[in-house]
Amino acid sequence: MMSLRSSSSTVTVDGWLARGALRFVGLLERYLPDAFVFALLSTGVVLAAGLWSTQGAAGPLLAAWGKGFFSLLPFTLQMALVIITGHLVASAPAVARLLHALSDVPRTPRRAVAFVTLLALLSSWLNWGFSLVFSALLARAVARRFAERGQAVDYRALAAASFLGLGSIWAQGLSGSAALQMATPGAVPEALAHIVECGQASCAGGSAASAAATAVGRGLLPLSHTIFLWQSLVSVLVEIVIVTLVMGWLSPVGPQTQTAQQLGISLAEGEALLPAAATAPRRPGDFLEHSPWLNAGIVALGGGYLIAYFAAAPRLLEAITLHSVIMVLLLLGTALHRTPARLQRAFAEATPAVWGVLLQFPFYGGIAGMLSATQLNQRIADLFVGVSSRATLPPLIAVYSALLGIFVPSGGSKWLIEAPYVLAAAHRLKVHLGWMVAVYDLGEALANLVQPFWMLPTLAILGLSARQVMGYTALVFVVLLPLVLLLTWGLGLTLSYPL
């Protein structure tokens, strides 16, 4: 009988997995539409479902689409700034030198893919906007370093690896939209805040209820009750290990590898999205543009504000909001680029990475408007709740979140649509409210593996299309879906209610 420990057996198994992954990649490359086409098709699907739900009442549905089309403009600007400020940090010369050093760490193709995957996951936990750019630039740097050594590494697998943070743990990290919104005063609608207060036992009255409401904050769920639950941290750790191993295992080697050069993509240093060296001032007016003092002043001003802001917060974690994340990234970028000229150039070079967000977000806002107006989202949520118990609600909501995330790929805006139903169901079934936010985030991230919307900034940097990488991300989805369901079910049983 053959030995499973033999080297030939290992090669055979690895080769079979790699060939299966490549066939899947090839299938999606041939049949998958462009990301914008996906948004338009999703609009058509929801429109048809809405017409069926309202028995052909097109007028209110069209009005809801038009109203929703512009409903996400403030959030669109926030997301664009997260991407741009993340780019400012990731594309700074000091970070570029770090990328060059990091690219020299892995020595084999599969270790290279696993290495990019690991850093993409870790950086996405810190900030998803930073991770989008940092991981893409790391993938380019690794591919360039392997080409300099005369080694072949699959560029598509590297590209997919650089995105996997947004397909797994980003929403469980410091920039998770739903968790930040629930922790931010003024970001939680009054009706939703009331549900949270009830979940904190304040509706029932009594000293215990008042103590719970005071400790947590009326209508708010601080990060200590969502992404910093030990159950959330365990789920993050498990996903990091599994996703890293899967990508290292499935990435192709040998003649099946497609390098950047074979795909017609140049990796020349000059084409990376890095700011060029500032030229010497040519006229007196140029002096200020190339002086570091203005940047230093802005950093000092913003740094003073952030120190006072965080010092005034009752808890440090409660002060981490979308606005504070953007401010921190902007000040870091300002400091790292040193002069106004470099900062402006980096900002301009980051702007093309957000064109997909600016174009497609309004369409997804329209989809969200139709879902809300026709109450399709509530009907779907009621369907899940109707077959749920205290133990099964978390995994079912994770599936629901992933399903809806395919049509509305926005963790923050989608959460505001669905939170009233999700948290009300959790309150009725006595499920920990903070864990429901984490559960929703876990499902939301899964949707990104089969929804190309958030791949756009990464793909713009790497010069690839969604169809060239989604075979790998879809395979990771197949692995993570049952894992997430198991984690949300098992870890949810360890939490008590209220909170």
pLDDT tens per residue across span 190-246: 666 777 777 655 454 444 434 444 334 566 788 888 999 999 999 999 999 999 999
| Among 124, 150, 147, 220, residue whose Cα is nearest residue 180 | 220
In this prediction, residue 367 carries a pLDDT of 80
Q: Would you say residue 274 lies in a domain?
A: no
Q: Would you say residue 421 lies in a domain?
A: yes
CA distances 441 to 174, 210, 227, 311, 346, Å, are: 12, 28, 9, 28, 31
Q: What are phi and psi of 475, to 5 degrees?
A: -65, -40
User: What is the span of the domain harbouring residue 206?
Assistant: 193-219
Residue 206 sits in the same domain as residue 233:
no
Residue 354 sits in the same domain as residue 419:
yes
Q: Write the single-letter amino acid at 133.
A: V
Q: Would you say residue 463 lies in a domain?
A: yes
User: How far is C-alpha 24 from the geometric centre of its chain's CA atoms?
Assistant: 24
Buried b or exposed e, range 57-82, using 16+ CB within 10 angstroms? eeeebeebbeebbebbeebbebbbbb
Q: Which two tokens stand for residue 296?
A: 């230093």
Residue 331 sits in the same domain as residue 371:
yes
Residue 326 sits in the same domain as residue 202:
no
The H or E element that residue 309 is part of is helix 292-312
CA distances 32 to 25, 236, 287, 466, 470, Å, are: 10, 30, 51, 8, 9
Encode pLDDT of 243-288 as tens digits: 999 998 888 877 778 888 888 888 865 444 444 444 555 666 667 7
Mean of pLDDT over the chain: 79
Residue 423 sits in the same domain as residue 464:
yes
In this prediction, residue 34 carries a pLDDT of 66
Distance in angstroms (rounded) separating the CA atoms of residues 319 and 180: 9
Q: Is 340 helix (H, G, I), strand (E, B) or coil?
A: helix
pLDDT band at 157 (very low <50, low <70, confident <90, very high): very high
CA distances 88 to 80, 91, 344, 460, Å, are: 12, 6, 10, 16
Encode pLDDT of 350-365 as tens digits: 787 787 778 877 887 7
Q: In 10 A of CB 386, how many CB atoms?
A: 8
Answer for the pair 458, 209: CB distance below 8 angstroms, yes or no. no
Q: Which residues contact 39 (CB under 8 A, 6 or more apart)?
A: 360, 363, 364, 453
Encode pLDDT of 12-49 as tens digits: 445 565 566 667 666 766 766 666 777 788 788 888 88
Q: Which residue has the tokens 């941290």?
A: 233
Q: State what percent of residues in the chain have pLDDT above 90.
A: 22
Sign of the CA dihedral with 106 first, then 107, 113, and 114 last? negative
Distance in angstroms (rounded) separating the CA atoms of residues 393 and 43: 28
Residue 128 sits in the same domain as residue 206:
no
Distance in angstroms (rounded) separating the CA atoms of residues 370 and 68: 7
Q: Which residue has the tokens 């500032």?
A: 278
Q: Would you say residue 224 lies in a domain?
A: yes
Q: Would you say residue 104 lies in a domain?
A: yes
Answer for the pair 326, 82: CB distance below 8 angstroms, yes or no. yes
Q: Which two tokens stand for residue 430?
A: 């006595």
| 202 compared with 389, residue with greater pLDDT | 389
* Number of domain units in the chain: 2
Range with the poorest average pLDDT among 155-169, 289-303, 361-375: 361-375
Distance in angstroms (rounded) separating the CA atoms of residues 220 and 473: 34
Residue 111 sits in the same domain as residue 241:
yes
Q: Would you say residue 282 lies in a domain?
A: no
pLDDT at 412 over 80: no
Distance in angstroms (rounded) separating the CA atoms of residues 274 and 96: 8
Cα distance from N-terminal residue to C-terminal residue, the chain? 57
Q: Which residue has the tokens 């365990």?
A: 234
Global pTM reads 0.75
Answer for the pair 491, 229: CB distance below 8 angstroms, yes or no. no
Residue 242 sits in the same domain as residue 371:
yes
Residue 200 sits in the same domain as residue 314:
no
Q: Would you say residue 125 lies in a domain?
A: yes
Answer for the pair 218, 185: CB distance below 8 angstroms, yes or no. no
Answer for the pair 445, 170: CB distance below 8 angstroms, yes or no. yes
**DSSP structure class, residue 261:** T
Distance in angstroms (rounded) separating the CA atoms of residues 473 and 448: 9
Distance in angstroms (rounded) separating the CA atoms of residues 152 and 246: 20
Sign of the CA dihedral with 212 first, then 214, 215, and 220 last? positive
Distance in angstroms (rounded) separating the CA atoms of residues 328 and 251: 36
Answer for the pair 120, 455: CB distance below 8 angstroms, yes or no. no
**DSSP structure class, residue 66:** H
In this prediction, residue 411 carries a pLDDT of 60
Residue 230 sits in the same domain as residue 243:
yes
pLDDT band at 165 (very low <50, low <70, confident <90, very high): very high
Buried b or exposed e, range 208-220, using 16+ CB within 10 angstroms? ebeebbeebbebb
pLDDT at 99 over 70: yes
Q: Write the single-letter amino acid at 369.
A: G
Residue 248 sits in the same domain as residue 337:
yes
Q: Which two tokens stand for residue 209?
A: 């209820």
Residue 335 sits in the same domain as residue 470:
yes
Q: Would you say residue 365 lies in a domain?
A: yes
Q: Which residue has the tokens 């997260």?
A: 82
